[in-house]
Amino acid sequence: MITKVYLVRHAEAAGNVAKTFQGHNDCEVTEKGHKQLACLAERFKDVHLDIIYSSPLLRTRQTAAAVNKYHGLDVHINQGLIEINGGDLEGMGWEDIPLKYPEQQEMWDNAPHEYWAPNGEKMSEVYERITSTVNHIVHENTGKTIAIVSHGCAIRNYLCYAHGWGIERLRDVMWEENTSVCCIEYHGADCTPVIVYQNDTTHLSPELCTLAHQSWWKTTITEETK
C-alpha cells in the first residue's frame, strides 16, 4: 500500500517581496501570489486528494484553499507545519541581519543545521518538529493521497529527512519556489519516504516565479553551483 503526499510551499507573500525574515509573521499573499494560486488550483483540479493539511498562518491557508478549490475537502490546520520561529529576527530585513546578528547570518548561510534564533527556534527543533508532524500525518492516513501546505524552511528540513539525511546535510537541500510542489511516496509498514519529485513549478510561467528573479536567498550548495 502506498501513501502519497504532495508537499506544497505557500504562494508569494509580503515578506518574500520585502526580503524580510517572515517566520511566524502572518503575512498575506501578494497580487503575484494570487496569480500563482490560480495556476496552482488548476494544477490540482484533476488530482485525486483525500485530505488536506495546512500550517495555521494566513499565507499557507490561502494556498491550501487554492489546492482545495475543486475538491471541497476540509482543510485541517496543524501547528506542527508552521514556519521556523525567528524570535528577535522576525520581520527584520535580510540586509540588516548580518549587521545586527552576524553570528546568526554566518550559520544561516554556511551551517544552517547549527542555526538558532535568539528567543526563537533552533533549526534542529524545526527538523524534529516537521519530521514528526508529517510522519504522524502519514501514519494516520495510510493508503491515502494527502496535500500538505507549509513553508520554505520547514519544507527544506523535511526534504532533508526524506532524502535519508540527518540535519547536518541541510545545506545540500535547495530552497523551494513559491507554490512549488514536491511529491513523496511512502512504502511499507514503516512508511519509508521516497521522493518522486521536488520543487516542481510546471504550473507557473517564468514571469510568475519569485525566487527565479532573486539571488539574495542563494545559500545552498546546490544553488551556488548553478
Q: Determine whether the annotation assigns residue 14 to a binding site.
A: yes
Q: Determine whether the annotation assigns residue 113 to a binding site.
A: no
Q: Determine whether the annotation assigns residue 16 to a binding site.
A: yes
Q: What is the pLDDT of residue 189?
A: 78
**Contact partners, residue 68, CB within 8 Å, separation at least 6:** 49, 52, 75, 147
Q: What is the pLDDT of residue 19?
A: 87
Under the banding of pLDDT at 50, 70 and 90, the label for residue 219 is low
Higher pLDDT, 216 or 185: 185
> What is the tens place of the pLDDT at every residue in 124-133?
999 999 999 9
Task: Name the average pLDDT for the chain.
Answer: 93
pLDDT for 223 beyond 80: no
Output the nine-digit C-alpha cell for 66: 487554492
> What is the tens place of the pLDDT at every residue in 144-154?
999 999 999 99
Q: Determine whether the annotation assigns residue 12 to a binding site.
A: yes
Output the nine-digit C-alpha cell for 150: 507549509
**Do the Cβ atoms of 34 and 54 come closer than 8 Å?**
no
> What is the tens place of the pLDDT at every residue in 96-114?
999 999 999 999 999 999 9
**Which residues are part of the catalytic machinery?**
10, 83
Domain 2-218 = CATH 3.40.50.1820: no
